Structure 1
């Protein structure tokens, strides 16, 4: 395998220099973290599954006109994406009360919200990704008012589409996190959906039983984490035919 220069390593992915200018290779790891990396572990085959799930969902979103950084999947653990300038925000959509929302506001987990709620968090691990308002975002120059309007419009479209798609296979989209980035083309900037969409950054519950099918199984020591990720892929019709097997990652350039 050709040696490639590593650009960045995060909690769930490694980014490598892409084969062409303006591209990046995104490698999905099996590493799992929770509570701002205070809890660490491994979910066997998670990288393979998240690569396939994110590929499928990003492709489906592109079909309805949502611009994304995704280009194509390269192999079981890697995909080629466009290089973007990431906006330092996590955009969280909540449809059902769960997680920190339940804790902060004392709302019983599982309560359907009157309408979908969008929250913003500043991407900074050292500060534990604090919640911020639109005032903070514009005051500190992370995004403009126009950027926020565009992000909200795209986010609501993503939520509507994914909620329907997942409900069609018996899964409730409880909440999820999106990230956006900027791409410049011919001196014009446009916003695109970036990062990934997978059980790592979505809360997914079985529509009939309420069984958790996402990383909460790891966070809360519920067991059968690998099986939950596999079931999401199976319902979407994209479970790898060869099953989950590990592949050696690309070599890094020293």
Structure 2
């Protein structure tokens, strides 16, 4: 385990170390965690963001970061349909989009009236936590952490000697990476256009195959969210949803991300 991964494991070890996360990311090195703990190093749980009206959850950032930098044979299985998707996406923005899809389906069932996926995204995606009426996943904080994890993780994946410490310092310095985190994420991961981002999100939700890692991980995430919300019977799986409805939901996601990118 390299030094960057060791730091990520420390950041996530309290809240993102259960069976599901260890299955996705691998087991945490308990000897390393003990080594840090006995030195009485303080765990920082939240950091106020310099730009957005949120506090960053350090544990979630650490887990998402480790996902971006993950090297695993599972990555290849995930790229059956779209080579720009892999398991790392399910541990960051893709996982939040999938659970937000469950929230949409749950809201429709509760309202007993149709709610367009497009409108649901525009109204409720990326909302700050102080808006208590929006009790959903994929809040503004989640997406900030996803974008930061992707931006930092892709740098750490390049050959060189950049460290997670240097990248965190770069993120939070005055005028640093926080000022254009969404713009960089929009261009590098989502393709820089509503059409590309819509297609990528649609593939994330609809790819389906016996050995498709994205499809298998997506099913796990949906079941977990259904269990948490006590949803019964199960919601319509996204790959089985009418293509037009699913595309509308994905376009709503893309337009919200474009709006975030335009402001930083």
- Fold match by TM threshold 0.5: no
More strand by share: 1
Scaled by the length of structure 1, the TM-score of the pair is 0.30
Scaled by the length of structure 2, the TM-score of the pair is 0.29
